[in-house]
């Protein structure tokens, strides 16, 4: 018995792309209130935080403070409106210094 994978792959592509593409196409035609627009603008930051935060605590399980110090450095740089790359490099630099010194 031979199984044709092409229809299955096309079906999986369809159910994957529809939930992603439809909102992007339809959202331009929709009007939201100011509170809803603000909420929608904050969703990517919330999702990014949810993905990053557990990693801060598991950088080095024996020395959690190193991950938190890097996060604090990145947060301060972001608060000063530095570019994302500067925030990342600042966090890496603080973590590296703490590993070398402590």
* pLDDT higher than threshold 70 for residue 26: yes
Range of the domain at 45: 5-101
Check residue 62 and report its DSSP letter: T
The answer to whether residues 66 and 59 touch, using CB atoms and an 8 Å cutoff, is yes
Residue 27 or 93, more confident: 93
Number of domains within the chain: 1
Whether 30 contacts 40, CB under 8 Å? no
> In this predicted model, what pLDDT tens digit does every residue of 44-90 receive, in sequence order?
888 888 888 888 888 788 888 998 999 999 999 999 999 989 999 99
The model's pTM is 0.58
């Amino acid at each position: 018995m031979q199984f044709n994978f092409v229809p299955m792959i096309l079906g999986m592509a369809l159910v994957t792309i529809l939930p992603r593409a439809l909102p992007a196409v339809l959202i331009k035609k929709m009007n939201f209130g100011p509170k809803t627009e603000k909420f929608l603008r904050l969703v990517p930051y919330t999702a990014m935080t949810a993905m990053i935060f557990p990693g801060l605590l598991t950088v080095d399980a024996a020395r959690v403070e190193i991950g938190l110090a890097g996060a604090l450095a990145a947060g301060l740089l972001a608060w000063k409106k530095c570019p994302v790359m500067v925030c990342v490099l600042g966090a890496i630099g603080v973590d590296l210094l703490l590993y070398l010194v402590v």
